[in-house]
Homo-oligomer: A and B are copies of this chain.
Amino acid sequence: MEKKKKDKAYIKQMISELSKLDTKNMYLNDFYHTWKESDDEIEAVFHVAEILRGLRENNISTKVFDSGLAISVFRDNSTRTRFSFSSACNLLGLEVQDLDEKKSQIAHGETVRETANMISFMADIIGIRDDMYIGKGHTYQKTVSEAVQEGFRDGVLEQRPTIVNLQCDIDHPTQTMADMLHVINEFGGVENLKGKKVAMTWAYSPSYGKPLSVPQGVIGLFTRFGMDVVLAHPEGYDVMPEVEEVANDNAKKYGGSFKKVNSMDEAFKDADIVYPKSWAPFSIMEERTQLVSDGKLDELDALEQKCLATNAKFKDWTCTEEKMATTNDGKALYLHCLPADITGVSCEEGEVEASVFDRYMVPLYKQASYKPYVIAAMIMLEKFENPSAKLEELLEAATKRIK
């Protein structure tokens, strides 16, 4: 496979297209869920991501901050997102400072408000991953945002840091936007996505409690591109109804379709894109949140056992070569947010057969490679009123990154 470099003419063209998009509402604002963003805003993220990648490939510095801090708050373990966030911040000239909070802890209003201000005296950006508790993750991010908004209003903070959602209980926009940018590149442009069939499907995993934000994020975003999105899962593994509604509305608005099925086979049939991935049933996640809220931590184990036992009934929900053969031309694009549970490799029985995974390894890594650029794009759009002018400036200056 050949490495395609973006040349300066291409970058110039992208900047020119970006300049026509309306991004003024992103400026000094947070990024939570893709469906709260306009089409121009979504397109702008893709454009800025591609431009930043192009500049870097041409060894042109994209340091738009002379100094400044990006605070990262990971309320769950994370290596990949941590590295993506660090990479994005370094690319723009921000230094990351981690706030380590105890895991498995539901944050309370007052403490959040105080901490949010205490860590923000020099913060430009706050990246938050809080995906563990249904009804809590997004709420936490909003609370932080409101706290720093008030801090700015009251003269505590000399500027308002803005939020990048690095995964919440509802959406995982930096992941799904990277997924989509990968899809766009693989299919040769947004214009080729209309009518393509996407199978966002549950898959068996021996682990428990995987967040719902990826399937939710995918159906909420992919339905904006005129695609036929199928959400498949065993009965009882529903996602949040409000996000299904988003998907339905999108399907109507953008001329695609959204439907739910209880069969992986049905979803895979003639699909152009498949995204088989495990998640925990919404109802279990709600029960879990309630137990933690009530301090009944000793009951969590029993819930986990129950959930694992239920999962085990659906071991045939796995992405095999056989299933892949039923997709369009047998060549659907296989997506995963990684790490995947690979049968016989990382677990006995998992989400995907080893030979399928291996065959798609390079595209999977490429899919992941967009994430730092998507995060950087979100940061730039939040902090620069006129991003195309700034990017034009960078291209013209052409300061070498490696000097």
Contact = CB atoms under 8 A, between A and B. Distances in A.
Contacts of A402: 64-66, 68, 124, 383-384
Contact of A2 (B65, B115, B155, B383): B155
Interface stretch (A14-22, A31-39, A85-93, A238-246): A85-93
B119 A83 contact: yes
A308 interface: no
A83 B121 contact: yes
Contact of A366 (B97, B122, B156): B156
A60 to B, nearest CB: 9
B117 A368 contact: yes
Given A64-B402, A67-B90, A362-B156, A97 B118 contact: no
A84 B368 CA distance: 31
Copy number in this complex? 3
Interface of A: 1-4, 53, 56-57, 61-69, 79-80, 83-84, 86-87, 90-91, 93, 95, 97, 99, 110-111, 114-115, 117-119, 121-122, 124, 151-158, 338-339, 342, 345-346, 362, 365-366, 368-369, 371-372, 383-384, 390, 399-403
30 contacts: A1-B153, A3-B153, A3-B154, A3-B155, A4-B155, A56-B158, A61-B66, A61-B67, A63-B403, A65-B403, A66-B402, A66-B403, A67-B90, A84-B121, A86-B95, A91-B122, A110-B342, A110-B345, A111-B346, A114-B338, A117-B368, A121-B368, A121-B369, A121-B371, A151-B365, A154-B362, A154-B365, A156-B362, A156-B366, A157-B369
B69 A87 contact: yes
A119 B365 contact: no
Contact of A365 (B53, B79, B117): B117
A157 B53 CA distance: 11
A335 to B, nearest CB: 15
Given A64-B402, A124-B402, 4 more contacts: A61-B67, A67-B401, A83-B121, A110-B345
A372 B403 contact: no
A66 B91 CA distance: 9
Nearest to A384: B402
Contacts of A338: 114, 118
A63 B58 CA distance: 19
A369 B156 contact: yes
A339 B108 CA distance: 14
Contact of A118 (B80, B93, B95, B362): B80
Contact of A90 (B69, B91, B383): B69
A287 B295 CA distance: 37
A1 B154 contact: yes
Given A121-B83, A121-B369, A339-B114, A63 B67 contact: yes
Contacts of A157: 369
Contacts of A95: 86, 90, 95
